[in-house]
Amino acid sequence: MPRRGQPTGPTGPVLGRALRLLDAFDAQRRELTLSELARRADMPLSTAHRLMNEFCAWGAVERTDKGLYRIGLRLWELGSLAPRGPGLRETALPFLEDLSLITRENVQLAVREGTEVVFVERIAGSGAVPVLTRVGGRFALTATGVGLVLLAHAPAEVQEEVLGSPIDRFTPKTVTDASQLRRMLADTRAKGFSVSDRQVTMDSLSVGAPIRDRHGEVVAAVSLVVRHGSTTPQALARLVRTSAQTISRALSA
Amino acid sequence: MPRRGQPTGPTGPVLGRALRLLDAFDAQRRELTLSELARRADMPLSTAHRLMNEFCAWGAVERTDKGLYRIGLRLWELGSLAPRGPGLRETALPFLEDLSLITRENVQLAVREGTEVVFVERIAGSGAVPVLTRVGGRFALTATGVGLVLLAHAPAEVQEEVLGSPIDRFTPKTVTDASQLRRMLADTRAKGFSVSDRQVTMDSLSVGAPIRDRHGEVVAAVSLVVRHGSTTPQALARLVRTSAQTISRALSA
DNA sequence: GTGGGCTTTCCGGAAAATGGAAGCCGTTAC
DNA sequence: GTAACGGCTTCCATTTTCCGGAAAGCCCAC
């Protein structure tokens, strides 16, 4: 008679475990095998298998013809109901296009989520400097043009949390000193735009401006990313601020 | 001594139940109270409460200041990893913009999911005829321009399922006869574009064309939606087919 | 053939899910 | 003023569903 396994208890709520599986997906790994999923979520294969089957049945994930798992359309559909405004992306898009046509540079639209910036839309300028970010991607609040804007207008407790923790460095020019960063944030609030000079990569510069809802609260930020040295921050600031202003007005309508 | 409740057994897998909660959200109801969620998902409040809390903890949903639940950014982020190509939307967007600038009409980009069409991107023409669809929304495969294209190139079993079931009628002009629809699909394949003449609303006409991946397989469709009678389908077809061709080429690169 | 990696199924035992009830709000009605 | 109402949250005994090791399939590469 075969020895049957002795179940060792699970260690937490089911849903949490299941959702950890979805965390395994990111921009680099859009298609994963069951084994990879189980490994990355740190759970037995059989458990992962059962859970993924349920996700599959609902349409949260689907299987490729090769048996790999990937995020399903149902999830995308649900995600598009998320309140990035409401209607922030749709409202802003035409104006971002205008900005892109005029400058032929990279245009970015982002919101804050906790202590990170999330990129909501991005238009690549033809022949512009390449940027690291991706729609749906996250980044530190402290480095980018949009990040500085969003941090400058974030609630005090968020600012404290960000400034109180070690600050990520991406280049030699990245500002990692809290008090210097505080001055930059004050400057951003005073001038109405932010400048990130070679803080993300050594050949890029970005200028961001705040987008406000009808109550005047900052809900998003727009930025231009250009090659360092190709123009002055002030010239960009005029364009970006104007665009941000226009989008704010459209949002309130 | 207080009578303690007698648990009546639940009736299914946990995850399925939890995901049913998320189904309660749609374009009309983006923010819901706990009670509404429980009602729409048909489960006790306490259960719904516990599950929603877990979703909240993970970031799938968030609570407004008034206590309402809504879809969270985390879910949007995950959703943007869904395989609408890969990179279909981002690749196609500039070309859709071109099409929109030239025609000043409505431009739509859609993919097939099962027996429905899912709209991936939509650009409203200034002053163009209003359309019912929404980004992230679904519609029958049998009525719209994009739907006809996607159905025409769908696997045989999908076509059989769609044509074998009763076909939704939206206007007096909607084609609901299976054999007539079969001829339209053959025509769409032969000509390389589809025409939906007043089949969705009595004042609109749409023309769709297929977008193919590097293997020649149809992965999406693009369409123009115009006011009925404002121009001929043939004139639109030239533009739409050209655009679809260009997007297909860009996708393969 | 056979070895390895990945997937799928099985099942006894136990952890985690369940939902009625009761306690808390804030708001409206009398 | 207070009673009634609707919605949210917490509690806990019961038991349903989930867990995961093991073993069996599968497929490809060597």
pLDDT digits (tens, 9 = 90+) for A163-201: 999 999 999 999 999 999 999 999 999 999 999 999 999
pLDDT of residue A6: 52
- Length B236 CA → D7 C1' (Å): 54
Rounded CA-CA distance A20/A40 in Å is 9
**Residue B29 CB lies within 7 Å of the nucleic strand D:** no
Among A121-135, B82-96, B113-127, B200-214, the range with the most confident prediction by mean pLDDT is B200-214
| Amino acid occupying residue B47 | T
Which nucleotide is closest, CA of B39 to its C1'? D7
Mean pLDDT in chain A? 92
A51 touches B: beta carbon within 8 Å: yes
- The DSSP secondary-structure symbol of B133 reads -
- Length A68 CA → C8 C1' (Å): 15
Please tell me which residue, B9 or B120, carries the higher pLDDT value: B120
Question: Are A81 and B25 an interchain contact pair (Cβ–Cβ within 8 Å)?
Answer: yes
Cβ under 8 Å to B: A residues 195-214: none
- Match 């922030």 to its residue by tokens: A88
Residue A43's contacts (CB-CB under 8 Å, 6 or more residues apart) are A17, A20, A21
Q: Which domains does chain B have, with CATH numbers?
A: 14-79 (1.10.10.10), 88-252 (3.30.450.40)
Query: Rounded to a whole number, what is the distance in Å from the CA of B179 to chain A's nearest CA?
Result: 30
Question: How many contacts (CB atoms, under 8 Å) link A and B?
Answer: 119
pLDDT of residue B9: 59
Query: Rounded to a whole number, what is the distance in Å from the CA of A62 to chain B's nearest CA?
Result: 10
Rounded CA-CA distance A238/A249 in Å is 17
Secondary structure string (H, E, C) spanning A121-177: EEECCCCCCCCCCCCCCEEECCCCHHHHHHHHCCCHHHHHHHHHCCCCCCCCCCCCC
pLDDT of residue A129: 85
Rounded CA-CA distance A129/A69 in Å is 34
Query: Rounded to a whole number, what is the distance in Å from the CA of A229 to chain B's nearest CA?
Result: 27
What residues in B contact A58, CB-CB < 8 Å?
Answer: 15-16, 19
Of the candidates A58, A10, A60, A52, the residue with the CA atom closest to the CA atom of residue A34: A52
- The DSSP secondary-structure symbol of B212 reads E
Q: Which member of B15, B80, B81 has the closest CB to residue A51?
A: B15
Task: Find the residue in B nearest to A16 (Cα).
Answer: B54
Q: In this structure, are residues B94 and B230 in contact, taking their beta carbons and an 8 Å threshold?
A: no
Residue A3 scores a pLDDT above 90: no
Rounded CA-CA distance A164/A149 in Å is 18
Rounded CA-CA distance B6/B246 in Å is 64
Question: Are A78 and B22 an interchain contact pair (Cβ–Cβ within 8 Å)?
Answer: yes
**Residue A9 CB lies within 7 Å of the nucleic strand C:** yes
**Residue A101 CB lies within 7 Å of the nucleic strand C:** no
Of the candidates B228, B220, B118, B212, the residue with the CA atom closest to the CA atom of residue B173: B228
Among A81-85, A126-130, B217-221, the range with the most confident prediction by mean pLDDT is B217-221
Average pLDDT for A228-236: 95
A55 touches B: beta carbon within 8 Å: yes
Question: Are B90 and A135 an interchain contact pair (Cβ–Cβ within 8 Å)?
Answer: yes
Residue A128 scores a pLDDT above 90: no
Rounded CA-CA distance A144/A149 in Å is 9
Of the candidates A229, A237, A225, A231, the residue with the CA atom closest to the CA atom of residue A129: A225
